[in-house]
Amino acid sequence: MDKKFMYNQLLAKMNNRGSHCRIYLKFFFVMAVYLLKMFSKVFNVLPLQERHLLYRLRTNISCLRLLCTPSCQDRDPAPLFISPEVQTLLKQLTRVDLGKVFRKRRNERKLAPPQYKFLTDDQLKQAVKEAREKVDRKLQMPPVVKSSGEVDEVLSLDPELKGYCDTAFVFTDISFGVSSRDRLVVVRDPDGTLRKASREQRSRMNQLYFPVGGRQMKMPRMFEEQYLKSLLEQHEYEFVLDRACIQLEPDDSEFHRIAATAYDHVDDHCQYDALRSTRHFGPLAFHLAFHRRIDNLLLDTIQAGRLDESAALVKLFHILHPKEKSQMDAHGQHDVEVVKMYIQADAVRKSSLELALQTYLDLEEQRQSVKESIQRAHGT
């Protein structure tokens, strides 16, 4: 059974049974945290395989807090995602690399030959400005919105038409100037029911009369579970996500499934560099922060020496979850203090993050000492 379906079923039962189930679950969570604290004392001496299993256990238990709070599925991420503060943090986390942004891509387009020009200072400034605008367009992030769900609206029941034909009739308004979302598409079923078209039927009709370049009439087989898994194992994350953006709308449940599968695979295998400097890294970071799973990415940024990105990730986490413990005292603090507060209060991989942060601080102290020694040697 699908894990997401089981989670929603459990949450529904909890809401129906009242507060007693929540109290029992909170008690279980407290006991689990106590046991994990005991395990953490021997964590560093365990073999690598057992250490990985213990981390997975800690991650799963930490997610039990979600069952004591409103589900993330009930929240609409769109207002948070489009807020200027969140967009600024996501662009900072993307870490723009011009070499990767303008790299040669695997498509059928021919490369334009390079052009060499003599420019004045003003013309050079204008060219740089245009190049930056082009980078912004290439790194425009796909929107993160709530899944709209399936359409199930019956317009009319006409049993006298039952048996008239053994196939359904689809009626589509093909008027120009009407958006694909607002276009009227209805279906007359063989049993005489007149209803609004499903998402899949609406998508096919829109593609039939108003085709979108690169979009297929039927769902590509690459999005089936077995083929999708094979592509992700080859680390073709950008290819999968680009193809999903062309084929599906951002509020489609299938798009949510494909994107979440790709993001989870990136996080599980720590392949963040595969999506850095692409338009998909911002939604990846937002997905991890929205579901309280930023520890692996936070560890990656600390080990890379990008503490500004680490602090930006924690600030993003605080915006999405303003009631977390570390958010209370983090306002106005230095980047190091912001990261420390998160590690102490809300982190799951506490020991690994503390070790990485301490290593970074020791290296920074050594670099500063060497720099001061060089300056004294030069008499400055």
Sign of CA dihedral 195, 198, 202, 204: negative
Distance, in Å, from the CA atom of 127 to the CA atom of 120, rounded to the nearest integer, reads 10
Does the pLDDT of residue 55 top 70, yes or no? no
Distance, in Å, from the CA atom of 287 to the CA atom of 291, rounded to the nearest integer, reads 6
Does the pLDDT of residue 266 top 90, yes or no? yes
Does the pLDDT of residue 333 top 90, yes or no? no
pLDDT in tens, 82-92: 999 999 999 99
Does the pLDDT of residue 108 top 80, yes or no? no
Average pLDDT (119-125) is: 92
Does the pLDDT of residue 43 top 50, yes or no? no
pLDDT in tens, 278-295: 999 999 999 999 999 999
Which of 122, 208, 220 has its CA nearest to residue 172?
A: 208
142 close to 177: Cβ distance less than 8 angstroms: no
64 close to 25: Cβ distance less than 8 angstroms: yes
Does the pLDDT of residue 63 top 80, yes or no? no
pLDDT reported for residue 277: 94
Assign residue 50 a region (left: φ > 0; alpha: ψ between -120 and 50; beta: otherwise). alpha
Chain centroid to CA 156: how far?
40
* Highest-scoring range by mean pLDDT, 132-141, 282-291, 319-328, 343-352: 282-291
238 close to 207: Cβ distance less than 8 angstroms: no
Contacts with 198 (C-beta within 8 Å, 6 or more apart), sequence order? 150, 151, 187
pLDDT reported for residue 152: 85
pLDDT in tens, 295-325: 999 999 999 999 999 999 999 999 999 888 7
Per-residue DSSP letters for 343-359? HHHT-SSHHHHHHHHHH
| Confidence band of 72 (pLDDT split at 50, 70, 90) | low
Per-residue DSSP letters for 224-269? SHHHHHHHHHTT-HHHHHHHHHHHS-TT-HHHHHHHHHHHHHHHHH
